[in-house]
Amino acid sequence: MELQMALAAAAAGILAHLGVFIRGEWHLQGRAVLSAHTVLATLAWCLVFRHQMAAVSEQIELCLGAVGIYLLSLFSSITVYRLFFHPLRHFPGPKLAAASKLWHVVKCRSGKNFRVLEDAHRKYGQYVRTGPSEVTVFHPGVIELLEAPKSKTSRTDWYDVLHPRTSTIFTRDESEHSSRRRVWSRAMSTKCESNAVAAWIGSTDVRFIQAMAQYVPRIREQIERLAKLIASHDSKPVLINDVMSWFAFDSMGEFMFDSSFGMMDSNAWHPAIAQQKAALELLAPMNDAVWLVRLAFDLFPYLGKVKDWNKMLAFCDNAMRKRMKKTPKDLDLASWFIEEFEHPKTSRNEKDRGDLLSGNTMTAVVAGRSVHPTPSFDGSWSMESHPMETDRRSYIVTLRDPA
């Protein structure tokens, strides 16, 4: 390759970094970036290398060589900047982590991020640079600082993992979060106001209802099923991880879609929920490099766990569509999300409202897996470890239960 072409390719890589990629966020633009580079490489071959006095194979080889030099120059420029000129360069931490989050992905390939961070804390102290633009703080006081009312801290790019779907949880815009949180607050509040919900109890004159009280019959029904399932084992060991997960998912299905998944009755995993477990495993090793996850979603939608992820999204959307065709006897969480979709208080178009409804559905389903089982495990362990204390507390709860 001629020296001039090599220098031009190297200069293009440096300019691409300093003029383009050093600015803004790119985790949602992976497919666009790859497409643009493919187009530019094709144009370079057509306009420059195709006119070289050489065979076609040699022309292609020259073009690929130029692309290689460009990419080497681009990534070298990025690495040098992150190691020696980045505002976070003075924080201690692994040099490979400062250069790329791929270090974190490799370290977390077994899904045990807590051990990776624990080792980093032990080696580097309370403030560790764990990514090119990321510092992990091992001090409880940082929570109060970041969550303060006047804090200007924004959420990380991880919260774009469902894009274009969005929800109260999966949004990075503070104003949108505040407005969307009202729907969840009403759904989970002891007092809430809604014309549509008032209709559920048969009177448009009734404006205030107790939302949580509407869920009590559903909760009791699921607890009774859980008790029967545990009792059916008699003196045999109970695989508490599965049992409590079934309880969490069946409860979530009942609260969200007015329909249990029936796992406690069948004593087995629902196929869609088992698929969800496989889909969420995709996030375990790549959780800290959302750009890589988004790239996998864009480029490999039918491959392995990415396919499972898309099937999980389709399952959630189908479950909500079925729920929208029903008129349940009792109030459920979906009632509030459907009301927001059908009677919006903002100027969002139908597609945006659909993405919000889908995102809320996905949030509820994932929360059923990630949040509910853990305290159930802990509670079961505590009751088995301290039976006398459990009996005393059960007596107190019985006295305080208005039912």
pLDDT string in tens for the chain (403-residue length): 578 888 989 999 999 999 999 999 999 999 999 999 999 888 877 776 666 656 767 777 778 888 899 999 999 999 999 999 999 999 999 999 999 999 999 998 877 888 999 999 999 999 999 999 999 999 988 888 888 877 888 888 888 989 999 888 888 888 787 777 777 776 666 554 444 444 444 443 333 345 566 677 778 888 888 888 888 888 788 888 888 888 888 888 888 888 888 889 888 888 877 777 777 777 777 778 889 989 988 888 888 888 888 888 898 899 899 999 888 777 778 888 888 888 877 777 889 889 999 998 888 887 665 555 566 656 666 666 666 655 544 444 443 444 3
Helical ranges in 85-129 per DSSP H: 95-99, 102-107, 113-124
Give the tokens for residue 299: 């480029």
CA atoms lying within 13 Å on the CB side of residue 328? 22
- CA–CA gap between residue 277 and residue 366 (Å, rounded): 10
Nearest Cα neighbor of 299 from 38, 12, 24 is 38
- Write out the H or E segment, with its range, that includes residue 209: strand 208-209
Q: ∠ CA(171), CA(309), CA(343), 5° rounding?
A: 45
Please state the separation of Cα 170 from the chain's center in Å: 7
Q: Is 298 helix (H, G, I), strand (E, B) or coil?
A: helix
Paired residues of 208 in beta bridges: 193
- CA–CA gap between residue 48 and residue 62 (Å, rounded): 10
